């Protein structure tokens, strides 16, 4: 039965408006999966889940899957071998895209050939925290104690090739002291070891430390960034304590090589919409993460710059590891 002209016209208009109201992306057809190389509960995991929530508000469902272990190699390998359709995404960092290629002998993926960059998503400064009864309360005290007691300090990290190990290690090399490195499969297990007194200090990021520092279960020794943390304004940066040293953690999203350019563009567009959302920024900054988006090309260029910065240091670290 034919509809009257006016009714048919209204139906067409309603149909057009309904289509306009729906997300204009193929990414809504089935859930995405972001693979996080760390255990649940750490800062990267929490930030990934915040991003997931932001995407869900825009009609794109993204599941967070934690694959900790082997300094991020397990997670990165899983994504590298995934179908290149843009639905399996790596929560990437210096460790997975730069460090592993130098430090790990049997890498099961190629950081340069197996991935295509989507966007940067944020950064935050590295920190060093200590057990509350440690015989030092700041970075000056740590350096003095470490020089007087070589390698007696047990230093934890979320993994050997991760910036929160590399930055403290580069700091030790620059200022002439050593600690004993003990890697964990993520931040949360390291926190447990620190709080229980199994290790003395730990390199970490700001996310998730506030409850531990506020109630005295950890001591924040210093901030490897340009400015102090807003939630701990009395804790000095490394530079303020006399050490000219910065070490930012950065995060990005990468997909398997071969993912279509248009799919990468779709991902980039919607993720950057989330990163620029005012509420998202406020939540991220409460976690001490500064949201930062980019184009795919800008992200790739940043990774290349970080490679040039850290590879010489990584090679020195590798040489020292091989001689032990």
Supply the pLDDT for residue 4.
Answer: 52
pTM: 0.77
Residue 21: pLDDT band (50, 70, 90) is very low
Residue 309: pLDDT band (50, 70, 90) is confident
**Residue 307 to residue 72: CA distance in whole angstroms:** 17
CATH 3.40.190.150 residue window(s) in the chain: 27-124+249-320
In 3-state terms the chain splits into helix, strand, coil percentages (rounded to 5) of: 45, 20, 35
Supply the pLDDT for residue 19.
Answer: 43
CA dist 263 to 62, 85, 88, 255, 282, Å?
Answer: 15, 7, 12, 10, 28
Contact 76, 110 (CB under 8 A): no
Q: What is the pLDDT of residues 160-173, one digit of tens each?
A: 777 889 899 989 98
Residue 28: pLDDT band (50, 70, 90) is confident
Q: What is the pLDDT of residues 84-127, one digit of tens each?
A: 999 999 999 998 999 999 988 899 999 999 999 999 999 999 99
Q: What is the pLDDT of residues 41-58, one digit of tens each?
A: 888 899 999 999 999 999
Q: Which CATH architecture group holds 27-124+249-320?
A: 3-Layer(aba) Sandwich (3.40)
CATH 3.40.190.10 residue window(s) in the chain: 125-247
Contact 322, 111 (CB under 8 A): no
Given CATH 3.40.50.300, say whether it is the number of domain 125-247.
no
Supply the pLDDT for residue 322.
Answer: 66
């Amino acid at each position: 039965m034919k509809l009257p002209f006016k009714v048919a016209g209204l139906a067409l208009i309603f149909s057009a408006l309904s289509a306009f109201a729906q997300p204009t992306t193929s990414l809504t057809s089935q859930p995405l999966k972001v693979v996080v190389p760390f255990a649940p509960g750490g800062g990267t995991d929490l930030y990934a889940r915040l991003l997931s929530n932001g995407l869900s508000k825009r009609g794109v469902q993204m599941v967070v899957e934690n694959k900790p272990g082997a300094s991020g190699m397990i997670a990165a390998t899983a994504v590298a071998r995934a179908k290149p359709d843009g639905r399996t995404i790596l929560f990437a960092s210096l460790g997975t895209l730069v460090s592993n290629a130098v430090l790990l002998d049997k890498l099961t993926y190629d950081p340069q050939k197996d991935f295509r960059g989507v966007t940067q998503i944020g950064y935050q400064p590295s920190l060093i925290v200590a057990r509350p009864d440690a015989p030092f309360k700041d970075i000056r005290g740590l350096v003095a104690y470490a020089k007087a007691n070589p390698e007696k300090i047990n230093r934890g990290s979320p993994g050997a090739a991760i910036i929160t190990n590399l930055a403290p290690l580069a700091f030790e090399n620059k200022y002439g002291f050593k600690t004993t490195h003990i890697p964990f499969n993520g931040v949360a297990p390291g926190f447990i070891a620190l709080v229980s007194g199994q290790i003395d200090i730990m390199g970490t990021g700001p996310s998730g430390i506030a409850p531990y520092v506020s109630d005295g279960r950890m001591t924040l020794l210093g901030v490897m960034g340009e400015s102090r943390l807003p939630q701990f304004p009395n804790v000095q940066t490394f530079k303020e304590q006399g050490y000219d040293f910065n070490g930012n953690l950065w995060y990005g999203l990468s997909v398997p090589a071969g993912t279509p350019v248009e799919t990468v563009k779709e991902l980039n567009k919607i993720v950057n919409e989330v990163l620029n959302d005012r509420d998202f920024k406020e939540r991220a900054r409460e976690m001490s993460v500064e949201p930062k988006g980019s184009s795919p090309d800008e992200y790739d260029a940043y990774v290349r710059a970080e490679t040039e910065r850290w590879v010489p240091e990584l090679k020195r670290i590798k040489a020292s590891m091989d001689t032990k």
